[in-house]
Structure 1
């Protein structure tokens, strides 16, 4: 399934996992109010200044949080 928004992705999860994902989303938005929601690699992500800086996704046994890998 292709997702176009955080809400679509989160609604596809079980209610228990939805609550955890919403908690993560809320924390990011509280700490970084300038962050914009987006979908990247078919998972929820946040971008600022045109760059994705945070990805998060739910799996069967865990929730993953991923910073982007960039070369300096």
Structure 2
């Protein structure tokens, strides 16, 4: 992925999953490719060992997730 800034939904595969960690970290899971941290507007591999019960959850919508990316810029 070479997308920078606030991505569009069409930039991701249909099976991409958008998650939020600790209220302000936008995480992305792409099956078969792994997890990515989008804080700061660019994807970086994310080690899922940082996820613990209760510190992350699925975003309610892509728009909610994208707003966190925008706020992190």
Q: TM-score range by the shorter chain?
A: 0.3 to 0.5
TM-score where L is the length of structure 1: 0.38
Answer 1 or 2: higher relative contact order, Cα 8 Å, separation at least 6.
Answer: 2
TM-score where L is the length of structure 2: 0.38
Structure whose residues are more often strand by fraction: 1
